[in-house]
Amino acid sequence: MRHSGRSLFDHLVGTHDLLQRWGNREDVCNAGLFHSIYGTARFHYKVWPIEQRDVIRGLIGDYAEKLACLFCIMNRPAAFFGCKDAWLVPQMLRDLHEIETANLLEQGSKGRWLARLRASDISAAAKAAIDAHVAAIR
């Protein structure tokens, strides 16, 4: 499957690897590896049916699968800002911001969301990666 000018697999592995390089926990890295498994608002191809979440949960764990599922079903990245839902705890929102940052950087995004993500609660390594990316595209 093509994605961002190459294979979807390459993009998913690249997203995972950025998260790992930035020092994220294994469950966040695994969520990054599976971040579009059920399709997204912009990437409509569904690698796996959302009705069978238990299979993915068995592969990567409950928290990682929950992050991946939220990433797929939320209208992101806009939904990540101003989100006041009580069930989306601050750590989960931070992890989703980190995954979105890796996703956008891995695709070579020039979009406006990088500045908003840079100002959010993400790791210092992710912020440095945004800074380097923005400097390189100027």
Question: Is the pLDDT at 32 greater than 90, yes or no?
Answer: yes
Q: Helices 26-33 & 8-21, crossing angle to 10 degrees?
A: 160
Amino acid in position 46: K
* DSSP 8-state secondary structure symbol assigned to residue 6: E
Amino acid in position 73: I
Instruction: Kindly report, residue by residue over 53-102, the tens digit of the pLDDT.
Output: 999 999 999 999 999 999 998 888 777 776 665 567 889 999 999 999 99
Question: Is the pLDDT at 3 greater than 70, yes or no?
Answer: no
* pTM to 2 decimal places: 0.90
pLDDT at 42: 66
As a dihedral over the C-alpha atoms of residue 68, residue 76, residue 120, residue 64, rounded to 10 degrees, the angle is 0
What average pLDDT is seen over the chain? Answer: 88
Choose from 33-42, 47-56, 124-133 the range with maximum mean pLDDT: 124-133
Element (H, E) at 92: helix 90-107
CA dist., res. 102 & res. 94, Å (int): 12
What average pLDDT score do residues 102-109 get? 94
Cα 91-19-106 angle, rounded to 5 deg: 120
Residue 44 — pLDDT band, cuts 50, 70, 90? low
What is the gyration radius of the CA atoms in the chain, in angstroms?
Answer: 14
pLDDT at 75: 81
Q: Could you tell me how far CA 11 lies from the centroid of its own chain?
A: 11
DSSP-derived secondary structure for 35-92: TTTT--SS----SS-GGGHHHHHHHH-HHHHHHHHHHHHS-TTGGGSS---TTS-HHH
